Amino acid sequence: MKHTHTYNKKKKNINIYIYLLSKIVHSINILLWFKIVSISGRLLRAFLRRFQNINATKNPNVIQKIKSYNEDPPKINEKRGYKLTFNETPNKSKYLSLKKESIEPKHIIFYVHGGAYILNLTKLYEKIAYFFCDLSDDIEVILPNYSQAPEFKYPTQLNEVVDIWHEVTKRIDPDNIIVGGDSAGGNASLSLIQKIKNEGSKLPKGGIFISPWTDMTCSGESYIKNYQIDPILGDENGQLTKEDIIKDADIGTFCFIGDADRKDPYLSPIFGDYSTFPKSLFIVGSDEMLLDDTLAIVNKLKENNNDVELDCKEGMFHIFPIYSNMIPESRDSYNKMKKFVQETFYNNKENDA
C-alpha cells in the first residue's frame, strides 16, 4: 500500500510539472507574439475581430453583412495626373482601368479583388491600385469587377475574368502582364492561369497572390488549427470540424459554388497543374485559416522547380497587406511586391521612368 501511495504521489507531481510547463510555454509564446507583431498590427487585429469578422457561425447573416459593403459604382477616386475609366468587354464583363494621364502603358498589372465573390470592387482597393500604378509611368492597372454571388455562381466570375484577360491581351502581350489577387481574387487569378495554360495560350510574366482561397474541400490543417486565432474568418470561442466548414455551403461564404465539384481545379486551384508556372510571389499570414491553401501550392511549385517566393508573416491575418498604410507588416509586404514587379518587368533594375 505504501508503494502504491508513493507511486500515485509521483504521478500527481509529474502531472503538476507538465501543467506548469505548458503554462510557461504558453506564456513564452504570448511574449514572443507581442514581440513579433507590431502594436498597430495588434490594434488592427482587434478591430477586425470586432467589426469585420465574417465567420458564418458568429454571423448567420454573413452574406448580407458582406453585401452591405458593396458600392455601385465603385467609389475609387480619380486623382490628379491619373486616368480612371470604367469599361466593359463586348460580352459585358466589367473592369476598371487606372493609368497615368497622357501615358501609353507598356505593362499591365491585372489584379482581381477578394470578398468571397460576394463583394464587388470597393474603395478598399484604391490604395493597392494606386500603389501598383505608381511603380512606373508605363504601368496600367486592370481591376475586374465581376458579378456577385449568390445571385451569380461559379463559373460566372471566372468566365468574366477570363473574358477581360482576352480583351486586355489584344493590345498588351502577356509577357508584359503580371496577374494577381487576394482571397477570392487570388482564387480567380490562379484559376485564370490554369485556364490560359489549358488553352495553350501564352502565360503572364508573373503572379502576385495575397492569401489566396484555393481549396474548397478545406483539406488543410490550418482550417482547424487557426480557427480560434483568425480574427476575420475564425471564432475565438468556437470549435470546428471539417464537416462544420462546408455544411452550410448555400448560405455562407461558399455560396458561389452552387452544385460544382469542389475538386474542380478551376474552382479549387490547389488541384491544378503546377508543372510550369510564371514567376510568383505568395503573401500570407501565419494566423489565418487559409494558410495551408497557400503553403500547399507553394510546395507544389517548389517541387516542380518553379520560381516562387513566399512571404509568410508571423502573427498576421487574412489579406493583411490590403491595409497598407496602417501596419508595418503590410508596408514590408508592399516593399516585397515592389521588388517583385521591378524584377519581373525591368530585369531587377530600378525603373527610372
On whether both 8 and 146 belong to a single domain, the answer is no
Note whether 140 and 99 are within 8 A (CB).
yes
Residue type, 121: L
On whether both 219 and 283 belong to a single domain, the answer is yes
How many angstroms from the chain centroid is the CA of residue 325? Answer: 18
Nearest to 214 by CA among 186, 242, 233: 186
On whether both 18 and 56 belong to a single domain, the answer is no
Q: Which of 9-18, 20-29, 53-62, 135-144 has the lowest mean pLDDT?
A: 20-29
On whether both 16 and 68 belong to a single domain, the answer is no
pLDDT at 81 over 70: yes
Domain annotation covers residue 352: no
Backbone torsions φ then ψ of 301, nearest 5 degrees: -65, -40
d(CA 51, CA 247): 25
pLDDT at 11 over 70: no
Note whether 206 and 181 are within 8 A (CB).
no
On whether both 19 and 136 belong to a single domain, the answer is no
How many angstroms from the chain centroid is the CA of residue 6? Answer: 57
Q: Which residue do the cell numbers 478591430 mark?
A: 47
**CATH code of the domain in which 49 resides:** 3.40.50.1820
Domain annotation covers residue 246: yes
Note whether 189 and 264 are within 8 A (CB).
no
Q: How many residues in the chain?
A: 353
Nearest to 210 by CA among 348, 98, 313, 67: 313
On whether both 133 and 4 belong to a single domain, the answer is no
On whether both 284 and 210 belong to a single domain, the answer is yes
Domain annotation covers residue 49: yes
Q: How many domains are contained in the chain?
A: 2
- What mean pLDDT is predicted for residues 131-152? 97
Q: Choose between 7 and 284: higher pLDDT.
A: 284
Q: Which tens digit of pLDDT belongs to each residue from 218-260?
A: 999 999 999 999 999 999 999 888 777 766 555 688 999 999 9
On whether both 114 and 233 belong to a single domain, the answer is yes
Domain annotation covers residue 147: yes
> Residue 128 carries which DSSP code?
H
Domain annotation covers residue 171: yes
On whether both 83 and 218 belong to a single domain, the answer is yes
Q: Is the dihedral of CA 131, 166, 187, 283 positive or negative?
A: negative
On whether both 32 and 50 belong to a single domain, the answer is no
Query: DSSP letters along 218-262, please?
Result: --STHHHHTTTT-TTT--TT----HHHHHTTTTTSTTTT-TT--T
pTM equals: 0.89
Domain annotation covers residue 95: yes
On whether both 45 and 22 belong to a single domain, the answer is no
Question: pLDDT-derived band of residue 326, with 50, 70 and 90 as boundaries?
Answer: confident
- Structure confidence at residue 204 (pLDDT): 98
Note whether 232 and 53 are within 8 A (CB).
yes
- Structure confidence at residue 241 (pLDDT): 80
d(CA 190, CA 235): 28
pLDDT at 28 over 60: no
On whether both 21 and 130 belong to a single domain, the answer is no
- Structure confidence at residue 284 (pLDDT): 98
Q: Which tens digit of pLDDT belongs to each residue from 169-181?
A: 999 999 999 999 9
Q: Which tens digit of pLDDT belongs to each residue from 86-127?
A: 999 999 999 999 999 989 999 999 999 999 999 999 999 999
Whether residue 155 is preceded by a cis peptide bond, meaning omega within 30 degrees of 0, is: yes
Domain annotation covers residue 353: no
Domain annotation covers residue 61: yes
Domain that holds residue 3: 1-36
